[in-house]
Amino acid sequence: MTARGWKLDLGDHRAELSGFETEQARKGKAAKAAGRSGRKGGKSKGRSDAPSWKPSPGAKRVGVEDGTRLSAFVARTRTGMSVREAKKLIESGCVRVDGATETFASRQLRRGETVEVFAELAPQEHIFDPKRIIFDSDGFLAYDKPAGLPATPTDATKSWSLLDILRAALGKDIIPVHRIDADTSGIVLFSRQERVARTLETSFRDHLVKKTYLAIVRGHPREKGEHRSYLVQSEKGQGFETWASGHGADARAAETTWEVVERLGPFGSLVRVQPKSGRHHQIRIHFAEIGHPLYGDIRHGDRRDPTQAPRHMLHAWRIELPHPVTGDTVKITAPVPKEFDRLADTLRRLR
């Protein structure tokens, strides 16, 4: 068995902190005095309210352009950018109007509104990277998916998914085993054999797979906690599903547990999350329900993060499951994306 670039543990093993967590803890020592004062009994009394919004240096104020569509306004303010490119940038969550992320490209602007464009945070096109294969053994593999890329084809007319990329690079026999959201980074499992795929799917169905995520959330949730609610499917298409809080005959129970890794200054926390059920958007919905939405979550958050995030800050960090051939316990860990480090550093400095 081989693991490319990341440690693979088989059988019983002791829990260990990742290098990222160790580094984050080291960096956070200076922030603890300012952000953790007065906490008792596992609860934080530090501020969780967002600071007053201040336009970024490149912000543009709407004047004679009153009534102009947002996409046209953005294109005019960016040298060499077409309206089509501006529309894509807006829909990716990289534009704010008066401090709130705006994804409706046809919105008509009003005089006095302030528009900010974060073009540097736009998702980049991904090509196959063999270094992102973090496990490959006995008919199945794990790929460290970047954010902004669907795991499987969607209803979009020009969709290009991770599955398409892997089949082009590794052959047509690649079979998807599970999915994560397009803007969630981290571990996605694939199989090279139908028999192995069915075994892995059975492990997921029988709740034998333990998944751990990292997330950066607004404010300061309790040091440890769990949240339960009922979710209903609100939309479904090729390669995607949308869920929301709700009740009724089709509602499904969802449970999420978490542990705070670090308080990132007054306005954020890095948390380690374990979903006990596998509902789509479960982690994002649950943290929004408890008042601590994920940074960058334009669907379930209020779009008013105190600093701009490149996407919703959720990373499929570790997965533990029975090997589909040997039955031994396999533990796979994916590196933490650089955008997590950058946002964490920004939040530590934010006052």
Whether the predicted pLDDT of 128 surpasses 70: yes
Whether the predicted pLDDT of 279 surpasses 90: no
pLDDT in tens, 74-119: 999 998 899 999 999 999 899 999 999 999 999 999 999 999 999 8
241: confidence class by pLDDT, cuts 50, 70, 90: low
Which residues, 6 or more positions from 26, have their beta carbon under 8 angstroms from its beta carbon?
none
Whether the predicted pLDDT of 40 surpasses 50: no
Residue whose pair of structure tokens reads 């990132």 in the numeric block: 264
What is the reported pLDDT for 295?
97
Instruction: Report the range of poorest mean pLDDT among 12-21, 177-186, 239-248.
Output: 12-21
* Average pLDDT value for the chain: 84
More confident residue, 348 or 232: 348
Domains of the chain: 9-34+124-349 (3.30.2350.10), 63-112 (3.10.290)
Distance separating alpha carbons of residues 70 and 141, to the nearest angstrom: 43
Residue 95 and residue 116 in contact, taking contact as beta carbons nearer than 8 Å: yes
More confident residue, 153 or 185: 185
Mean local confidence (pLDDT), 7-21: 34
Q: Where would I find the H helices in the chain?
A: 19-27, 29-35, 70-77, 83-91, 162-170, 194-205, 282-289, 338-349
Distance separating alpha carbons of residues 187 and 151, to the nearest angstrom: 10
Whether the predicted pLDDT of 46 surpasses 50: no
Distance separating alpha carbons of residues 342 and 348, to the nearest angstrom: 10
Strand partners, 2: 136
What is the reported pLDDT for 237?
61
Whether the predicted pLDDT of 9 surpasses 60: no
What is the reported pLDDT for 243?
66
What is the reported pLDDT for 12?
31
Q: Which has the closest alpha carbon to 347: 117, 339, 103?
A: 339
Distance separating alpha carbons of residues 195 and 67, to the nearest angstrom: 58
Tell me the HSE value of 176 on the side-chain side, using a 13 A CA sphere.
17
More confident residue, 115 or 10: 115
What is the reported pLDDT for 14?
31
More confident residue, 1 or 312: 312
Whether the predicted pLDDT of 48 surpasses 50: no
